[in-house]
Amino acid sequence: MCGIAGYVGKDIVLPILIGALERLEYRGYDSAGVALIEDKKLIVEKRKGKIRELVKSLWGRNYGAKIGIGHTRWATHGKPTNENAHPHTDEKREFAVVHNGIIENYLELKEELLKEGVKFRSDTDTEVIAHLIARNYKGDLLEAVLDTVKKLKGAFAFAVITVHEPNRVVGVKNGSPLIVGIGEGENFLASDIPAILPYTKRIIVLDDGEIADITPQSVNVYNFNGEPISKDVMITPWDLVSAEKGGFKHFMLKEIYEQPKAVNDTIKGFLSTEDTIPFKLKDFRRVVIIACGTSYHAGLVGKYWIESFTGVPTEVVYASEFKYADIPISDKDLVIGISQSGETIDTKFALQFAKEKGAFTVGLVNVVGSAIDRESDFALYTHAGPEIGVAATKTFTAQLTVLYALAVRESGDRDNLIRLLEKVPSLMEITLNSSEEVEKVSDKYLKRKNFLYLGRYLNYPIALEGALKLKEISYIHAEGYPAGEMKHGPIALIDENMPTVLVAPQDRVYEKMLSNLEEILARKGTVVSVGLKGDKVLKEKSADFMEIPKVDEPITPFITVVPLQLFAYFIASKLGLDVDQPRNLAKTVTVE
Ligand code: AGP
């Protein structure tokens, strides 16, 4: 949901900002812009479209500016146009602002400003910030920002520069993420860590209600009352290589291939900190998992594991539904919020709500220092490294890893079950080695308009996840269903035009899946199946068969999902679509 970046220091700012925005582009990509200060003048360039459009418009211009801010947008207020692109400025073009999030009372503020005769150039909520700061400015940018934030409502982060103080960037965090990168004679602001990885690993994670005031030599943090705050400097374990494509055509493909490492690192991370986990699932009357999208699907798999290995009843609820559904929550409940980014606002709000009700809250995140990490009573981590592709892949299997390890920790057979988990990375490698087979299968389905995905028990959530991957990156309609429900409705859709992807490893529901297969064939449907190596029945009866190695039932979801990720990837890639930045989506959804 928009990426923001800021720099002040010893080097020419434009290439630094463009690089940072490219690494933030996954957060939004319908327009982009920069504001620089050169010779006490503000230079603003912004363009509808991707960052490459901005780069084209800047081609041949050699700015020497060493201070600037930049933005990549996911539109909320106002269509993606050049006018609505950030940065936004005040009327005299002395102040420039880039913003992420929503100013909920912007209409009210805009009315007041209009009455005072202010002329607006855009339809955005952001523009009010620029006008307000300009009006509040009495010679000190920090003071003007402090006066302004008191008037703003909503969840937001923004950065501002002014020609009056060409050595200073001020950043505000209140609900949307913002970090400070600490360099040598230079300092940075950004929505996320990958933006600044080429320059520094030293990071300050701002909390809500904080303002960072940066110059080339100093970083000072204040609360909204202007009182200084002392902050810890964190060293990020992420490196630049992990935030680049490394020879792959797309981040998504690279990230699919990184799964053995992501799972391996997450197993190691979990086992090395297992003893510090301050709770047992069995101490609670119930576990409630809240999450969105792919993280929700991981939660659904986690439910089966938790119930089967610990006997603790587990519910999985969409975070966006949780706080509106009157779900009884008390201190007898353990609430786990799963979020790759740790910033998804629905999940964050749901966890806050659960905490207010007295539940013990646990965040399962990939981004250390993210809001959910810091706001939960306890945090568990996936160690997948940065995930840039909008479609989540490696973070999904890393989330499964933690949920599995957490559940088996309380089973009588913990050691054997962990040994099983430790086989996952090599089983994934074997599966990935057959990617050419999946590619060949995908070639046959490029023109299909609808798909049904079926799975049962542990692989029902995998059917949902396979369908989500296909729809979000290929724009092909795909419906995931519990296979047993097919006869209660979706079977009416089956005909020769509607392929069904059947996730059918040889587990406790295998025979039932074969019955589904027969029912589909009897209605002239086409079946693409995912099954175990050597499964002659499935292979013979399916139009296409995507083979995975032999795998024990509890760990099947880790492996069955891999061909489905690849299948979606190859279809989208062959259709020439923007796999890493599919239309209308953003990697991190920080609006309700
Ligand atoms: C996954 O492919 C999607 N892009 C999306 O559903 C995502 O999983 C969801 O927005 C949740 O994000 P989070 O894990 O960062 O909270």
Ligand 1 site residues (CB inside 6 A) read: 292-295, 339-341, 344, 347, 390-392, 472, 588-589
pLDDT at position 27 is 85
**Whole domain around residue 486: which residue ranges?**
434-580
Residue of 191, 192, 295, 387 best suited for mutating to test ligand 1, as the one with most atoms within 8 Å of CB: 295
With a cut of 90, say whether residue 244 has pLDDT above it.
no
Query: 293 and 391 in contact (C-beta within 8 Å)?
Result: no
Domain boundary among 242, 266, 288: 242
The two beta strands, 360-365 and 333-339, are parallel
Residues 92 and 32 in one domain: yes
With a cut of 90, say whether residue 56 has pLDDT above it.
yes
pLDDT at position 589 is 83
Q: Which residue has the tokens 């509890």?
A: 554
CA dihedral 581, 466, 544, 451 (to 10 degrees): -80
Tokens of 70: 């930049």
Residues linked to residue 68 through DSSP beta bridges, in sequence order: 7, 36
pLDDT band at 241 (very low <50, low <70, confident <90, very high): confident
**Polymer length of the chain:** 592
Query: 166 and 37 in contact (C-beta within 8 Å)?
Result: yes
Q: How far apart are CA 386 and CA 187, in angstroms?
A: 22
pLDDT at position 76 is 80
The two beta strands, 88-89 and 95-101, are antiparallel
Residues 548 and 425 in one domain: no
Is position 587 annotated as part of the catalytic site? yes
- Say which CATH number the domain at 346 has: 3.40.50.10490
Indicate which residue's Cα is closest to atom 9 of ligand 1: 293
Edge-to-edge strand ranges of the sheet holding 526-532: 477-482, 450-455, 499-503, 526-532, 544-548
Residues 348 and 460 in one domain: no
Residues 24 and 12 in one domain: yes
Distance 236 CA to ligand 1 centre (A): 22
Distance 348 CA to ligand 1 centre (A): 13
Residues 381 and 501 in one domain: no
Residues 123 and 137 in one domain: yes
3-state secondary structure 230-256: CCCCEECCCCCHHHCCCCCCCHHHHHH
Burial-class residue 471 by CB neighbours within 10 Å (0-12, 13-18, 19+). middle
Tell which residue, 332, 280, 279, 343, has the closest CA to residue 311: 280
Residue of 256, 289, 292 best suited for mutating to test ligand 1, as the one with most atoms within 8 Å of CB: 292
Residues linked to residue 3 through DSSP beta bridges, in sequence order: 72
Q: Which residue has the tokens 């009884």?
A: 328
Residues 421 and 297 in one domain: yes
pLDDT band at 591 (very low <50, low <70, confident <90, very high): confident
Number of domains in the chain: 3
Average pLDDT over residues 539-551: 97
Count CB atoms within 10 A of the CB of residue 57: 15
Distance 355 CA to ligand 1 centre (A): 22
Average pLDDT over residues 321-326: 88
Residues 305 and 235 in one domain: no
Residues 511 and 483 in one domain: yes
Q: Is residue 16 part of a domain?
A: yes
Query: 373 and 181 in contact (C-beta within 8 Å)?
Result: no
Residues 116 and 191 in one domain: yes
* Structure confidence by residue, pLDDT tens digits, 139-188: 999 999 999 999 999 989 999 999 999 999 999 999 899 999 999 999 99
Q: How far apart are CA 308 and CA 289, in angstroms?
A: 16
pLDDT at position 183 is 97
pLDDT at position 38 is 96
Domain boundary among 204, 219, 242: 242
Domain boundary among 396, 412, 433: 433
In ligand 1, the atom with minimum distance to the C-alpha of 344 is 16
Is position 292 annotated as part of the catalytic site? no
